[in-house]
């Protein structure tokens, strides 16, 4: 208790210093805990399944001349579940097929239900995954008209009412009856769902999948033993060859393998890069926060050394002195932890929006060890390091200028802090620039004032919708297509003259007005005027090596489902449309004139936002039985690049916090230096030195530390930024000049802080300084 009493007295004496320490620790803990918890959260993806190490998913990728393509395709073919189970009964205990390809909007009594992700599954889904069925018979999922919903959705939609037997509308096209309830899945999954429909829905919408067609299914296997993963991977290729030919020409082969489901997320290169950079960010701010605390503790050594001496003269040993500092650090860490909890409480929604995860999911019992270890590590390092320094001060030197020997410590700590803030600001520059690029870069058509909406159902039922929209006074033009421009189009194998597979061709059906309304840029030839004519993108021309004579060629596809009895004739070449965004390489595209359209592209008049609201109000009133809602392409681009936006926001918050911590540490250091060198400054001024020379003297001392630290931090940020940019196939890293500019700006800010803080003592009358001695 006596140690606690002395600690409280010390804290009361150093109130100003303690505020700086508390703010520094709070910011470091706040951001560090969030980032480390997010990392642990993403590492726990798919761990909620029963015996997840025995649950695997089939995947495939193409190899050309023995060289595999980048990444795997986890969408495979419907018959693979039953066929491979039959081929490998020694390893496979159960198999199931699922798909999230079809994402419907659900309605209850005409009211749209929000946040209802779904999966289409077969009757063996629960047996394969081990998810708990609370009510109902999974065999009911054999029928298209039946559905299962999660326990949380049942409470949210129906309250205390029993949902069994109740109906929901799917896209206002057909109804499903709720036949069962299952325990909801956590959000840390690549396959979220609140409602399960029968896989018969996919048959109805896309046709029964076969080997080689409709690779929209996720095939799950429950193995008998975890070690069967390796055995299955050795056998699966030959097993597939029993049912289909994996060769796509002379040199291209589709390879099949399985992967434990909980390894899917962490095996993605984009996820690995994100986790790596988040770990570096979290460590940076945590380390800088601790170092700033140590710096503040060392800065107070000039007056606290006497207190330590008194304690040692009274018989206190090194352990007693160390205990005092641990008590002090413990109290400040406790206050900082409470402050962190308050910040999370008051800014919870913004934090969840930034991280893309609920705080309740981050801080589950299984992940609670992360914030606890973070707090414990902070307490041990921040308390033990300065505590050992004070504990080892000899009694004989307690009243001497012992702090002189600690200048190297303070400069070293400043060096680390400057390096950390330079690194963070360099990464911030990259993320801000890249987000600007992905949402504003040209995507092959004119997105300004262009809205899009799709409707399902029979094509004949949609007749007249485009004419009704076109007659509205706020609409400039309307055109129809089979898909929206920024999504995965229908695909067909693109082959060369010898039949060798080259790549998938992404194509859509359009009407005559589509190119003009959407602003496709014609590079050669003309736009389609008759059914069966097509324009292709530059990448298609390059891949097929048609540079000199593309007009008049036949596009080597013949999708009978689109009513095309012969291959489309190419009449023009357009600029490439970035339909898959900037996370993927440019696709081969084609736009074929046809009348099987269900997507409406509307060019609005100004003002865009107001007219978009009018358009949605009109279609809701005019077509209450249609699930038709319009969004602008700019909104769609922002939604598709939400992960980049979130990461940018994370880096921005981290940058702001670490910059504030470093500036507080710098201000404390300058105050300590001016106090320590007050006699020297006075003598210089008595000898005729001007205020500017004093400021240059202090600034030069800081710059000796800052320049090297900033150079290292900027260089490291340039390297890490290169890792971040690898997820954008044709993205380019900013030139080193931009990073150098950030470093120079940071050095200017550092000098400015020194000048402002030292301005008073540099301009003070030396007589006053002499009197105070």
pLDDT digits (tens, 9 = 90+) for 144-185: 999 999 999 999 999 989 999 999 999 888 999 999 999 999
- Percent with pLDDT over 70 in the chain: 88
Name every residue whose Cβ is closer than 8 Å to that of residue 682 and which is 6 or more positions away in sequence: 766, 769, 770
- 511 lies in some domain: yes
For helices 642-676 and 407-440, the axis angle rounded to 10 degrees is 160
Of the three residues 212, 243, 274, the one that is the final residue of a domain is: 243
Q: Looking at 601, 626, 651, which one is the last position of a domain?
A: 626
Question: What's phi and psi for 380, nearest 5 deg?
Answer: -65, -50
pLDDT in the model for residue 696: 84
**The predicted structure's pLDDT at residue 760:** 76
Least confidently predicted of 86-90, 461-465, 661-665: 461-465
482 pLDDT above the threshold of 70: yes
Q: What is the pLDDT of residue 309?
A: 63
The Cα 312–Cα 416 span in angstroms is 32
Question: Is the pLDDT higher at 313 or at 155?
Answer: 155
Give 128-143 pLDDT, tens digit per residue: 999 999 999 999 999 9
Q: What is the pLDDT of residue 410?
A: 75
Q: Do 150 and 216 lie in a common domain?
A: yes
729 contacts 720 by C-beta, under 8 angstroms: no
Tell me how long the chain is. 773
Q: CA–CA separation, 296 vs 698, rounded Å? A: 19
* Token pair of 78 as six digits: 């419907």
265: tokens are: 């997320």
d(CA 422, CA 76) in angstroms, rounded, equals 46
Q: What is the pLDDT of residues 638-672, one digit of tens each?
A: 988 888 898 899 999 999 999 999 888 888 888 77
Report, as an integer, the average pLDDT of 58-69.
88
Place of tokens 């421009």: 485
Number of separate domains in the chain: 3
pLDDT of residue 583: 83
Shared-domain flag, residues 614 and 717 = no
Count of alpha carbons within 13 Å of 540, Cβ hemisphere only? Answer: 32
pLDDT value at position 403? Answer: 47
Q: Is the same domain home to 612 and 650?
A: no
Calculate mean pLDDT across residues 238-243: 94
d(CA 378, CA 25): 8
Which pLDDT does position 262 carry in this prediction?
A: 93
Domain assignment present for residue 598? The answer is yes
In a domain, 62, yes or no: no
Q: What is the pLDDT of residues 570-622, one digit of tens each?
A: 999 999 999 988 888 899 999 999 876 789 999 999 999 999 999 999 999 99
Q: Indicate whether 59 belongs to any domain.
A: no
Q: Which distant-in-sequence residues (6+ apart) come within 8 Å of 100 by Cβ?
A: 117, 118, 119, 120, 191, 193, 218
pLDDT bin (cut points 50, 70, 90) of residue 113 is very high
Tens digit of each residue's pLDDT (9 = 90 or more) over 256-287: 999 999 999 988 888 888 888 899 899 989 88
322 occurs within a structural domain:
no
Whole-number pLDDT of residue 158:
93
Tell me: do 668 and 602 sit in the same domain.
no
Q: Per mean pLDDT, which range of 60-69, 159-168, 294-303, 406-415 is the poorest? A: 294-303
In the chain, DSSP finds a helix count (H) and a strand count (E) of 25, 23
Residues 132 and 220 in one domain: yes
The confidence score (pLDDT) of residue 559 equals 67
At residue 254, the 3 state secondary structure works out as strand
Burial class (CB in 10 A: 0-12, 13-18, 19+), 286: buried
696 or 655, greater pLDDT: 655
Instruction: Check whether 24 has a pLDDT greater than 60.
Output: yes
Percent of the chain with pLDDT over 90: 52
* First-last CA distance in the chain: 38
Mean pLDDT of 298-327: 66
Mean pLDDT of 734-750: 94
DSSP three-state, residue 261: helix
Positive or negative torsion for Cα 11, 17, 23, 25? negative
- 499 and 618 housed in the same domain: yes
The answer to whether residue 597 sits within a structural domain is yes
At residue 15, the pLDDT reads 52
* Range of the structural domain that residue 151 is part of: 78-243
474 and 556 part of one domain: yes
pLDDT of 407 over the 80 cut:
no
Packing angle of the helix pair 407-440, 691-725 (nearest 10 deg): 50
Beta strands 475-481 and 599-604: pairing type? Answer: antiparallel
pLDDT over 90 at 319, yes or no: no
Of 26-40, 609-623, 630-644, 671-685, the poorest mean pLDDT is in 671-685
Mean pLDDT of 762-766: 65
- By the 8 A CB rule, do 403 and 308 touch? no
Beta strands 174-182; 533-537: pairing state: unpaired
Residue 268 lies in a domain: no
* pLDDT computed for residue 700 by the predictor: 87
Asked if residue 469 belongs to a domain, the reply is yes
pLDDT band at 464 (very low <50, low <70, confident <90, very high): confident
> In whole angstroms, what is the distance from residue 163 CA to residue 753 CA?
64
Do 226 and 90 share a structural domain?
yes
Per-residue confidence at 405, pLDDT binned at 50, 70, 90?
very low
Please tell me which residue, 13 or 258, carries the higher pLDDT value: 258
- 605 and 660: one domain? no
Mind listing the pLDDT tens digit for each residue in 708-721?
A: 999 999 999 999 99
**DSSP-assigned beta bridge partners for residue 495:** 501
Same domain membership, residue 584 and residue 666: no
- 206, 228, 243 - which closes a domain: 243
Return the pLDDT at 263.
93
Give the range with max mean pLDDT: 265-274, 321-330, 416-425: 416-425
Domain identity same for 513 and 655: no
Judgement on whether residues 716 and 748 belong to the same structural domain of the protein: yes
Residue 312: predicted pLDDT:
59
460 or 426, higher pLDDT: 426
> By C-alpha distance, which of 267, 271, 217, 268 is closest to 84?
217
Lowest mean pLDDT, pick from 114-118, 231-235, 309-313, 692-696: 309-313
Mean pLDDT over each residue of the chain, to the nearest integer? 86
């Amino acid at each position: 208790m006596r140690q606690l009493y002395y600690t409280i007295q010390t804290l009361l004496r150093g109130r100003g210093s303690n505020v700086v320490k508390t703010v520094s620790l709070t910011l470091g803990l706040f951001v560090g805990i969030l980032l480390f918890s997010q990392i642990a959260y993403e590492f726990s993806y798919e761990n909620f399944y029963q015996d997840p190490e025995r649950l695997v998913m089939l995947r495939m990728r193409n190899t050309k001349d023995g060289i595999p393509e980048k990444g795997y395709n986890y969408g495979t073919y419907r018959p693979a579940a039953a066929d491979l189970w039959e081929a490998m009964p020694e390893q496979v205990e159960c198999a199931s097929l699922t798909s999230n390809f079809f994402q419907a909007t659900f309605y209850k009594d005409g009211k749209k239900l929000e946040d209802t992700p779904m999966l289409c599954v077969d009757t063996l889904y629960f047996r394969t995954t081990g998810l708990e069925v609370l009510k109902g018979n999974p065999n009911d999922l054999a029928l298209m008209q039946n559905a299962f919903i999660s326990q949380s959705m049942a409470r949210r939609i129906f309250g205390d009412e029993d949902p069994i037997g109740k109906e929901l509308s799917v896209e206002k096209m057909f109804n499903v009856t709720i036949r069962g309830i299952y325990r909801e899945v956590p959000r840390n999954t690549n396959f979220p769902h609140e409602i399960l429909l029968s896989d018969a829905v996919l048959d109805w919408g896309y046709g029964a999948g076969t080997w080689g067609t409709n690779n929209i299914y996720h095939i799950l296997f429950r193995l008998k033993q975890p070690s069967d993963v390796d055995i299955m991977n050795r056998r699966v290729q030959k097993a597939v060859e029993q049912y289909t030919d994996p060769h796509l020409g002379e040199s291209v082969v589709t390879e099949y393998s399985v992967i434990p489901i909980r390894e899917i997320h962490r095996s993605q290169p984009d996820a690995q890069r994100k986790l790596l950079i988040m770990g570096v960010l979290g460590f940076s701010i945590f380390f800088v926060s601790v170092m700033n605390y140590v710096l503040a503790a060392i800065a107070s050594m000039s007056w606290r050394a006497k207190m330590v001496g008194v304690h040692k003269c009274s018989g206190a040993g090194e352990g007693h002195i160390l205990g005092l500092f641990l008590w002090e650090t413990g109290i400040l860490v406790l206050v900082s932890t409470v402050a962190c909890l308050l910040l999370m409480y008051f800014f919870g929604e913004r934090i969840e929006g930034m991280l893309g995860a609920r705080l309740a999911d981050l801080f589950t019992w299984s992940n609670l060890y992360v914030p606890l270890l973070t707090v414990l590590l902070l307490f041990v390092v921040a308390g033990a390091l300065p505590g050992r320094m004070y504990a080892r001060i000899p009694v004989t030197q307690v009243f001497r200028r012992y702090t002189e020997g600690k200048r190297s410590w303070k400069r070293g700590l400043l060096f680390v802090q400057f390096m950390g803030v330079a690194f963070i600001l360099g990464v911030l520059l990259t993320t801000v620039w890249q987000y600007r690029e992905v949402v504003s870069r040209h995507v092959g058509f004119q997105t300004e004032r262009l809205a899009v909406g799709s409707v399902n159902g029979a094509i004949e039922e949609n007749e007249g919708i485009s004419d009704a929209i076109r007659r509205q006074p706020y609409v400039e033009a309307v055109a129809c297509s089979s898909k929206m421009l920024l999504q995965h189009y229908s695909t067909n194998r693109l082959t060369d003259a010898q039949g060798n597979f080259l790549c998938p061709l992404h194509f859509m059906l359009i009407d005559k007005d589509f190119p003009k309304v959407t602003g496709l840029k014609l590079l050669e030839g003309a736009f389609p005027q008759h059914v069966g004519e097509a324009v292709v993108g530059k990448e298609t021309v390059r891949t097929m090596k048609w540079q000199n004579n593309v007009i008049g060629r036949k596009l080597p596809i013949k999708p009978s489902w689109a009513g095309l009895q012969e291959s489309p004739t190419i009449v023009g070449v357009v600029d490439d449309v970035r339909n898959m965004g900037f996370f993927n390489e440019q696709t081969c595209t084609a736009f074929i004139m046809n009348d099987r359209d269900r997507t409406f592209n509307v060019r609005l008049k100004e003002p865009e936002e107001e007219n978009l609201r009018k358009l949605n109000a009109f279609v809701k009133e005019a077509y209450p039985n249609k699930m038709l809602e319009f969004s602008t392409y700019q909104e769609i681009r922002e939604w598709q690049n939400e992960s980049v936006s979130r990461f940018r926001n994370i880096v921005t918050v981290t940058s702001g916090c670490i910059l504030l911590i470093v500036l507080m540490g710098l201000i404390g250091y300058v105050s300590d230096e001016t106090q320590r060198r007050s006699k020297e400054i006075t003598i210089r001024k008595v000898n005729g030195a001007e205020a500017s020379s004093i400021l240059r003297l202090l600034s030069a001392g800081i710059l000796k530390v800052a320049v090297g630290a900033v150079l290292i931090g900027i260089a490291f940020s340039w390297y890490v930024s290169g890792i971040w940019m690898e997820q954008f196939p044709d993205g380019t890293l900013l030139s080193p000049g931009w990073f150098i500019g950030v470093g120079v700006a940071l050095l200017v800010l550092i000098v400015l802080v020194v000048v402002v803080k030292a301005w008073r003592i540099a301009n003070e009358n030396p007589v006053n300084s002499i009197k105070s001695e």
